[in-house]
């Protein structure tokens, strides 16, 4: 089993950026690194690729082990491969980002695991090139979400249109006209209106919607146009 002699083996890692939405701001989940180098500093959830495991498998395992998260939306981001990115050894890392409904897991990840949520723009400095990873993942999230239905992954199963708009506004750090936003959203045909209302956000209450899962699956790759002038915002 040494067909490729003289080649340099390396360590391959995965690092996961977990984004969550609290109804108002984008948040990111971090853990305190409990081994050297850089023990005690804040870090993304990471781990090494194991024998017989694919990279997405590894990312899912790492997420599950460090935060208990399972079955969440996970997308491959960029590879980080600078020779000296990890001072201890040559490690190449593939980054993944996850999108979750923050409320669904808030207590679980902070109590059962040693993870902590941070407001995205108040997060601490991270180890190695993890700040870069976050920046890149955020860029990728904005890019993809401007073109495809995706941000639904950050909301609970039933959500209101004002919640969704607040989410888009948080991701793009801007404000949209609510009439145009609603119209475009409805016209996607992706939403099913519920009879119940959510009264947590106002006295009047806003209608709850849920995703038409079948159409959503079909249209994952389809184009969306909720964002006016995406080129201005990316």
Q: Which residues of 179-197 are buried (b: 16+ CB within 10 A; e: fewer)?
A: eebeeebeebebbeeeeee
12 or 150, CB closer to its own copies?
12
Using the rule CB under 7 A, which residue among 48, 81, 205, 217 binds DNA? 205
Nearest CA to 225 out of 139, 140, 138, 149 is that of 149
Determine whether 114 is an active site residue: yes
54 binding partner (options its own copies, DNA, none; Cβ < 5 to 8 Å by kind): its own copies
Helix axes of 161-172 and 130-147: crossing angle, nearest 10 degrees: 130
Letters for 31-60 (x = contact with its own copies by CB under 8 A, - = none) are: -----xx----------xxxxxxxx-----
Residue where the block lists tokens 């981001």: 77
Using the rule CB under 7 A, which residue among 39, 108, 174, 180 binds DNA? 180
Helix axes of 161-172 and 178-187: crossing angle, nearest 10 degrees: 110
- Cα separation, 185 vs 171, in Å, equals 16
Using the rule CB under 7 A, which residue among 41, 78, 184, 210 binds DNA? 184
Using the rule CB under 8 A, which residue among 89, 107, 122, 214 binds its own copies? 89
* Residues making contact with its own copies (CB under 8 A): 1-4, 7-12, 36-37, 48-55, 76, 78-79, 81-83, 88-92, 94, 147, 221-223, 230-231, 234
């Amino acid at each position: 089993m040494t067909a490729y002699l003289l080649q340099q083996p390396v360590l391959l890692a995965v690092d996961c950026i977990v984004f969550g939405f609290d109804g108002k701001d984008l948040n990111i989940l971090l853990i305190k690194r409990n081994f050297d180098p850089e023990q005690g500093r804040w870090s993304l959830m990471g781990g090494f690729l194991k024998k017989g495991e694919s990279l997405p498998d590894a990312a899912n395992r790492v997420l599950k082990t460090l935060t208990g998260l399972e079955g969440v939306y996970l997308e491959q981001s960029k590879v980080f491969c600078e020779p000296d990115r990890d001072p201890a050894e040559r490690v190449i890392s593939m980054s993944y980002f996850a999108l979750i409904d923050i409320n669904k897991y808030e207590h679980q990840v902070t109590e059962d695991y040693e993870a902590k949520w941070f407001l995205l723009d108040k997060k601490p400095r991270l180890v190695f090139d993890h700040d870069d990873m976050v920046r890149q993942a955020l860029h990728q999230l904005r890019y993809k979400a401007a073109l495809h239905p995706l941000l639904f992954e950050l909301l609970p199963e039933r959500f209101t249109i004002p919640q969704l708009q607040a989410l888009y506004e948080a991701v793009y750090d801007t404000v949209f006209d609510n009439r145009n936003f609603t119209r475009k959203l409805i016209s996607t045909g992706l939403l099913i209106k519920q009879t119940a209302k959510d009264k947590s956000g106002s006295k009047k209450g806003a209608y709850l919607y849920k995703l038409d899962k079948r159409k959503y699956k079909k249209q994952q790759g389809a184009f969306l146009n909720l964002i006016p002038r995406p080129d201005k915002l990316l």
